[in-house]
């Protein structure tokens, strides 16, 4: 009889009360590579060979005005919009006083519609750490 795999035989350390030791995995071997969720395997087996017919049915329902089917089809065809390239003039930030100019440029870009109101705070969060770095650089060089 072959020796059992030592990785599978290793037991996780436990406290005298039977609890797992803090910082130790209860399953040191982990999930085996390539192992998939049972629900995913069952769903795949049920849909095997039916994907084309189901897709055709969803498209037909969407074309007949079913809003849910239309949304399903469009979500698959058009990827959800995450970020977009943005072009606007952001003044260079070389000293602390330039951060205020950058904030004003970001506010103006939102007001003009060059960037969306949701993108404005992201640009502000990007430029704010820059002022902290500049402040530290100035204080260490002085």
Q: What is the mean pLDDT of residues 73-90?
A: 74
Burial category of 32 from C-beta neighbours within 10 Å (exposed 0-12, middle 13-18, buried 19 and up) = exposed
pLDDT of 9 strictly over 80: no
Question: For residue range 103-127, what is the model confidence (pLDDT) as tens digits?
Answer: 888 888 888 888 888 787 777 776 6
In a domain? residue 15: no
Number of folded domains that form the chain: 2
pLDDT (tens digit per residue) in 85-109? 777 778 887 777 787 888 888 888 8
Query: Whole-model pTM above 0.85?
Result: no
> Does residue 103 contact residue 124 with C-beta atoms inside 8 Å?
yes
Residue 130 lies in a domain: yes
Within its chain, how far is the Cα of 102 from the centroid?
A: 28
The residue range of the domain holding 64 is 38-77
Q: Is residue 137 included in any domain, yes or no?
A: yes
- H and E: helices and strands count for the chain: 6, 0
Q: Are residues 132 and 105 in the same domain?
A: yes
In a domain, 67, yes or no: yes
Residues 64 and 101 in one domain: no
Residue 31 within any structural domain of the chain: no
Label residue 130 by pLDDT band (50, 70, 90).
low
Structure tokens at 134: 């500049």
The radius of gyration of the chain from alpha carbons, rounded to an integer in Å, stands at 28
Distance CA 129, CA 106 (A): 15
- Tell me if 56 is assigned to some domain: yes
């Amino acid at each position: 009889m072959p020796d059992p795999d030592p990785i599978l035989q290793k037991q996780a350390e436990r406290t005298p009360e039977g609890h797992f030791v803090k910082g130790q995995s209860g399953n040191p071997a982990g999930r085996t590579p390539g192992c998939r969720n049972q629900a995913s395997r069952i769903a795949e087996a049920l849909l095997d060979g039916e994907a084309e017919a189901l897709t055709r049915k969803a498209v037909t329902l969407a074309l007949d005005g079913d809003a849910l089917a239309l949304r399903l089809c469009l979500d698959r065809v058009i990827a959800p919009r995450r970020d977009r390239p943005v072009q606007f003039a952001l003044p260079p930030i070389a000293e602390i006083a330039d951060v205020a100019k950058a904030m004003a440029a970001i506010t103006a870009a939102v007001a003009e519609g060059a960037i969306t109101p949701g993108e404005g705070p992201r640009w502000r969060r990007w430029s704010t750490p820059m002022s902290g770095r500049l402040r530290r650089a100035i204080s260490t060089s002085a």
